[in-house]
Amino acid sequence: MGELILVRHGETEWSASGQHTSYTDLPLTARGKEQARGLAPLLAEFRISLVLTSPLERAVHTAELAGLTRTTRDPEMHEWDYGGYEGVSTEEIHRTRPEWNLWTDGVAGAPGHPGESPKEVGDRADRVLARVDDAFRDLADDGDIVLVAHAHFLRVLTARRLGLPPADGALFQLATGTVSRIGSEHGRPVLVSWNRMP
């Protein structure tokens, strides 16, 4: 079986400023586009058989600029829905909730928009991983599968792949425009490399 390759999209205005960004579909900054293009040599090292992206343009554009072709958008690979914290930085949240932690407390709801709990994001990640495992079984060439998505979602997905609870995604800091790898050893998922930059 091949490896699971995780790509975080390039920088956006809000990722640079630390604002929580889920459904607000901001474009890549000039630096973000440069980061995405810089991923191409790293990704050329793999035998890529399938590429899944978040439906959001910052992930789709990163894949395109990185030279990934024949991509499929997976609607469940969108970023954590931050509810009332959309566009708000952790620093701003701490002014009124100094002990707040996304990984244990989740998000504040907004009228008609409650956001997601860590468990709900974990459940989505599990469904994506189930489809990834099906795809690995169907691949005849033992190729690698690339997921292009968002920091918090990919951190939760990594925790779940390694058999950890969703909140343990807090252990895996993930920078913009990076490549990470999850492989296997003795039949168990293992982290092979993390946060690799061009």
Whole-number Å distance between alpha carbons of 104 and 4: 26
Residue 120 annotated among the catalytic residues of the structure: no
Tokens of 148: 């292009």
Residue 9 annotated among the catalytic residues of the structure: yes
* Catalytic residue chosen out of the listed positions 3, 9, 11, 116: 9
* Catalytic residue chosen out of the listed positions 20, 61, 78, 79: 79
Q: Residue 34: what are its φ and ψ, rounded to 5°?
A: -65, -45
Q: From the CB of residue 62, how many other CB atoms can be counted at a distance below 10 Å?
A: 29
Tokens of 100: 């707040």
Eight-class DSSP state of 113: B
Contact between 30 and 65 under an 8 Å Cβ cutoff? The reply is no
Contact between 41 and 66 under an 8 Å Cβ cutoff? The reply is no
Which residues are identified as catalytic?
A: 9, 79
